[in-house]
Chains A and B, each alone.
Chain A
Amino acid sequence: MAYLDSSADIQQADIGADVSDYFALLKPRVMSLVVFTALVGMLLAPNGLHPFVGLLAILSIAIGGGAAGALNMYFDADIDAIMSRTKNRPIPAGRIKKNQVLGFGLFLTGFSVPILGLATNFMAAGLLALTIFYYVVIYTIWLKRITPQNIVIGGAAGAFPVMIGWVAVTGSVSIEALVLFSIVFLWTPPHFWALALYKKGDYEAAKIPMLPNVAGENATILQIIVYSVLLAIVGVLPVVFGFAGYFYGAVASVLGLTMIVLAIRLRGVEQKQMRQRARKLFTFSLSYLFVIFLVLLLETLVLRMTGAA
């Protein structure tokens, strides 16, 4: 028969964490983006990997990304408890103890990085370790609570997986990998600032210096427009550098222009309408990244199969 060690444990653990709570620590939605972008990077890279090695590499990158998510929840437990979007996460909801989360995150990091190195190469593994370090230490612990540019600098963490996917296959960082990295990097600020515009109250309550709370809504909208323009330009760079065709170029141009229009439409309207439009931009930005990467991938695969690339 099993026992809990003390009444304090009973209070906190109550009926114990379920497997689904551990899965929630991995931030499955962020993980799906990590898996998707890493897969795109991997499939776009020349040559390719043995299917099993590719599968193991994707799994390692996914688990590494999940480990970073768990460590983020460990360090952010206090602010997660305040925000409506995060208060049902396993730690603030009291379903799992903080120290268990720390152990879980470190354990997954300790496994995912060496396995990626053994399966592919140690440059990819080094980049995965750097991603976890960047997200947990640079973004979560350091920048998130002190600068309104947190999302811009922290955005690099989300942009690394596509590069890791590429490096896992080729063993080196090339211009194509950097372009793919730049697309996700420049996509992050308008995506999260759109969220911050309509969830402003949440971030204010948690005392996180998001741009709308610190610099105001107009300054945020201006920066969203600037980053949307930069994103639209970088979005067509794969055509310029010759690793995407004109079909991709057309789709990326249309989507990039739509993003700019949605960003400009945030200006000069009343609060309520601006929030609705910010939500629309947030949703569109999700589709933007998914569609341009999917088109880039499908076009490359079709061109390869037909022997045109």
Chain B
Amino acid sequence: MSDPQKTPEEMPKDTPQAHDQQVLSEEYKKRQRRRSAAIAIGLVGLVASFYILTMVKLGPELFSRAL
């Protein structure tokens, strides 16, 4: 496993750890950002859906309760 304390530049080049820790390409990071954005949109959509669904299903009843 990788040592989180060391950057790739500090890692010895000929060890298995160094071989396993490869810096990711720009394309990989771009795709990762797009995946993260899709997850964020999905989560926001889910929250909004539950909120609107609650309002639609319960409507004013939501506020008709003993305080």
Contacts and interface: CB of A to CB of B under 8 A. Distances in A.
**A, B co-complexed:** yes
A53 B50 CA distance: 11
B66 to A, nearest CB: 25
A15 B56 contact: no
Contacts of B27: 15-16
Interface size class of B (residues with CB under 8 A): 20 to 34
Contact of A3 (B23, B34, B38, B53): B23
B63 interface: no
Given A16-B31, A50-B56, A52-B53, A22 B22 contact: no
A1 B25 CA distance: 11
Q: Main SS of chain B's interface residues?
A: helix
B33 to A, nearest CB: 10
Nearest to B37: A19
Contacts of A3: 2, 8, 20-24
Given A17-B35, A118-B53, A119-B53, A1 B8 contact: yes
Nearest to B49: A56
Interface in B34-65: 34-35, 37-38, 46, 49, 52-53, 56-57
Interface size class of A (residues with CB under 8 A): 20 to 34
B19 to A, nearest CB: 6
A23 B49 CA distance: 21
A221 B37 CA distance: 49
B16 to A, nearest CB: 9
B56 A52 contact: yes
Given A56-B49, A115-B49, A1 B23 contact: yes
Given A1-B8, A10-B22, A17 B31 contact: yes
B34 A18 contact: yes
A121 to B, nearest CB: 12
A6 interface: yes
Contact of B34 (A19, A56, A115): A19
Interface in A1-51: 1-7, 10, 15-19, 22, 50
B31 A18 contact: yes
Nearest to B26: A15
A5 B23 contact: no
A5 B35 CA distance: 19
A22 B34 CA distance: 11
B31 A52 contact: no
Contacts of A56: 49, 53
Nearest to B16: A7
A68 B20 CA distance: 35
Given A1-B24, A5-B1, 18 more contacts: A1-B23, A3-B8, A3-B22, A5-B2, A6-B20, A7-B19, A7-B20, A15-B28, A16-B28, A17-B31, A18-B31, A18-B35, A19-B31, A19-B35, A19-B37, A19-B38, A56-B49, A118-B53
10 contacts: A1-B24, A2-B24, A2-B32, A3-B22, A4-B24, A18-B31, A22-B35, A50-B56, A53-B53, A111-B46
Task: Give the top 3 A-B pairs by smallest Cβ distance, nearest first.
Answer: A16-B31, A15-B27, A16-B28
